[in-house]
């Protein structure tokens, strides 16, 4: 097993442990937010925010903020630029999409492609300037899009852990208003909750989690880690406690199995993680269908085909 | 125009010390959405006494939801004033004096919670995060669930409930906070005729046991005819007001801007036809309320 050697060999362990720890923190962060992303239908918004991160990376490199050197200050300034870019994009999407329901969709589509185009051009410019000035070269477009393990160091693991702590504390402190908002936003507002604050808070946590996930899974696959664990959990349970536990479990299993797969076979990490999560999703959908069929058979003939058809 | 001119005997107040402030007192309320030339609600005056049940009937786009948002303090009138039991609309909402039952369509039914959890949300929202929900608050939620006849399915996931069951949960959620005024927005959308009867029986029981002022806003005559002391018709302005028996085709034609006599042989028999009538000058800022097929 290469994985065991990577984690025990004194020469390799300092390289691979930060990757594993960062991956675990990222998986937990995303899995905690995932049920909200799925039930509030924020997948496409997440996609928009994560693509904005691509623009943010381009901007940071064009400004000469490279994060290279691995010091906390350089990493944080890179993350700061990317996070700011993501938040501005989220704000623009929210403003553009506020007036009419259909506009939200278009707004996300527009911001997404605009951020991609800007990011691509800025990375190109940054690459040319880096060569001319003898600065460190920006990451390849592929590394930004699909993630790259070599870019994850101890500082990244520490930042991922800090983000996890922030999400955990926020989720615990605001669990009641957040659940009310997620279940029924208009009613939450009518009962006196400041729903715009909750919405902005959730967007901030989403942006934070996407910015840290980017290194591991890349801009394109970051949303997968926010969507798949919750989708799996919601196939298997309709109770909040079990859904949270299942989501965290699916996120952890998918991420660790994906990491092992990528270590063993030398595959790209982001796509490996997503691949395992997709297999889990198919499995959960099949098992949900099977148990539904069994429940129907147990109820006998004449039983309603869906629970919704039973009337009061 | 005030609806209060010929109030029939209002139900006796259960709270004598509040008797001098009406449950809802709106005077000359006008509201225009930004960018619109015509007001959505125009010089509406409305007085609902404590313990009274008022139905507000009107076409889609007639300003019903706007009026509700004004009463809830979610919108501020451009002119005129609204007070709820002597408080401003906003402080009444925030202090839990007003219970609100939204259209159930707006909730995310895929959300993984039980009916009981859904009903306890407003009660739980003010509890500090480090403290569990108090025994007394739990008991209040249980009692509300019992009052609406929802105890038997209180632990089912919300996604598995029928339209009528969900409706009861939403009402339990509103009354768990101990409101004095209950507002219901289009309560009959998506509920079949049998469920409709159970709904109005349940509302009648609630009214008797809690002495709430109840305001039902709907485009559907069935929702209103069943259990209101008075009916007001809203189409931007409050057109007319009457006891439910007075809902003649002429009155309805006035508010729906149509002559409905052709469609209405008898208001009480063929009431469903009203849900298909729209104001021709339909406003897009008002949500359309498609009538769902019975669950």
- Judge whether B117 is closer than 8 Å to chain A, CB to CB: yes
- Which of B129, B160, B170 is nearest residue A307 as measured by Cβ atoms? B160
- Which residue ranges form the domains of chain A, and what is each CATH number? 2-219 (1.10.3470.10)
> Mind listing the pLDDT tens digit of every residue in chain B (295 residues)?
444 433 333 344 444 444 568 899 999 999 999 888 899 999 999 889 888 999 998 888 888 889 999 999 989 999 999 999 999 998 888 888 899 998 766 788 889 999 999 999 988 887 888 888 888 899 999 999 999 999 999 999 999 998 888 889 999 999 998 899 999 988 877 777 787 888 888 888 888 888 889 999 988 887 777 678 888 888 888 866 666 666 666 666 666 654 444 444 443 333 333 333 333 343 433 333 443 444 3
User: CA nearest B132 in A: which residue?
Assistant: A176
Torsional sign, CA A253, A254, A255, A256? positive
CB contact under 8 A, A312 and B124: no
Contacts of A240 in chain B (CB under 8 A): 112-113, 117
The angle that helices A13-39 and A195-236 make with each other, rounded to 10 degrees, is: 100
Largest CA distance in chain A: 77
Lookup result for tokens 């609406």: B148
What are the tokens at A233? Answer: 């959990």
ipTM of the complex: 0.79
Q: Alpha carbon of B95 to those of B32, B88, B98, B99, B118: distances in Å?
A: 27, 11, 8, 10, 20
CA atoms within 13 A on the CB side of B198: 16
Contacts of A237 in chain B (CB under 8 A): 112
Contacts of A234 in chain B (CB under 8 A): 110, 112
The angle subtended at Cα B229 by Cα B227 and Cα B234, nearest 5°, is 95
Closest approach of chain B CAs to the CA of A191, in angstroms? 7
**Spelled out in words, what is the top-level CATH class assigned to the domain B1-97+212-295?**
alpha beta
- Which of A35, A38, A190 is nearest residue B74 as measured by Cβ atoms? A190
- Judge whether A102 is closer than 8 Å to chain B, CB to CB: no
């Amino acid at each position: 097993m290469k994985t065991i050697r990577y984690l025990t060999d004194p020469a390799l362990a300092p390289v691979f442990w930060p990757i594993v720890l960062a991956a675990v923190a990222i998986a937990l962060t995303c899995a905690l937010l995932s049920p909200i992303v799925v039930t509030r239908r924020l997948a496409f918004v997440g996609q928009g925010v994560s693509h904005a991160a691509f623009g943010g990376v381009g901007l940071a490199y064009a400004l000469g903020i490279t994060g290279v050197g691995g010091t906390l200050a350089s990493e944080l300034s890179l993350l700061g630029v990317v996070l700011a870019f993501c938040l501005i994009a989220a704000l623009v999407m929210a403003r553009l999409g506020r007036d009419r329901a259909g506009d939200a969709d278009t707004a996300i589509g527009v911001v997404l492609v605009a951020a991609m185009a800007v990011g691509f051009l800025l990375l190109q410019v940054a690459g040319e300037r880096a060569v001319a000035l003898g600065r460190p070269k920006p990451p390849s477009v592929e590394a930004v899009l699909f993630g790259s393990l070599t870019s994850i160091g101890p500082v990244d693991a520490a930042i991922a852990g800090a983000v996890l702590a922030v999400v955990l504390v926020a989720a615990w402190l605001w669990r009641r208003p957040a659940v009310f908002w997620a279940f029924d936003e208009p009613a939450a507002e009518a009962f006196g909750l400041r729903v715009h604050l909750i919405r902005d808070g959730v967007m901030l946590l989403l942006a934070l989690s996407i910015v840290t996930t980017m290194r591991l899974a890349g801009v394109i696959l970051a949303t997968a880690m926010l969507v798949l664990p919750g989708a799996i959990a919601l196939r298997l349970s309709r109770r909040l406690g079990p859904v949270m536990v299942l989501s965290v479990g699916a996120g952890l299993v998918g991420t660790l199995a994906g990491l092992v797969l990528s270590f063993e076979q030398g595959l790209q990490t982001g796509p490996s993680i997503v691949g395992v999560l997709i297999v889990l999703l198919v499995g959960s959908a099949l098992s949900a269908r099977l148990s539904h069929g069994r429940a129907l058979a147990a109820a006998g003939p004449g039983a309603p085909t869906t629970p919704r058809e039973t009337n009061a | 125009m005030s609806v209060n001119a010929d109030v029939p005997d209002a139900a006796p107040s259960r709270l004598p010390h509040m008797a001098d402030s009406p449950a809802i007192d709106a005077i000359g309320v006008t509201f225009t959405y930004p960018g619109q030339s015509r007001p959505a609600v125009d010089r509406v005056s409305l007085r609902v006494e404590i313990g009274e049940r008022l139905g507000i009937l009107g076409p889609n786009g007639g300003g019903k939801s706007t009026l509700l948002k004004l009463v809830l303090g979610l919108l501020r009138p451009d002119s005129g004033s609204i007070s709820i039991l002597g408080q401003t609309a906003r402080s009444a909402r925030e202090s839990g004096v007003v219970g609100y039952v939204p259209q159930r369509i707006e909730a995310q039914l895929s959300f993984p919670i039980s009916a009981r959890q859904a009903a306890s949300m407003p009660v739980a929202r003010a509890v500090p995060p480090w403290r569990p929900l108090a025994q007394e608050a739990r008991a209040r939620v249980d009692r509300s669930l019992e009052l609406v006849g929802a105890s038997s399915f209180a632990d089912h996931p919300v996604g598995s409930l029928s339209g009528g069951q969900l409706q009861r949960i939403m009402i339990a959620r509103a009354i768990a906070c101990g409101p004095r005024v209950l507002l219901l927005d289009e309560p009959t959308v998506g509920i079949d005729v049998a469920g409709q009867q159970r709904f109005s029986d349940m509302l009648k029981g609630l009214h008797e046991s809690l002495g709430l002022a109840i305001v039902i806003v709907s485009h559907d005559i069935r929702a209103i005819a069943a259990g209101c002391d008075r009916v007001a018709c809203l189409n931007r302005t409050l057109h007319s007001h009457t006891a439910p028996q007075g809902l003649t085709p002429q009155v309805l034609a006035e508010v729906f801007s149509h002559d409905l006599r052709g469609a209405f042989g008898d208001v009480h028999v063929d009431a469903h036809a009203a849900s298909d009538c729209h104001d021709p000058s339909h406003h897009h800022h008002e949500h359309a309320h498609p009538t769902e097929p019975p669950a």
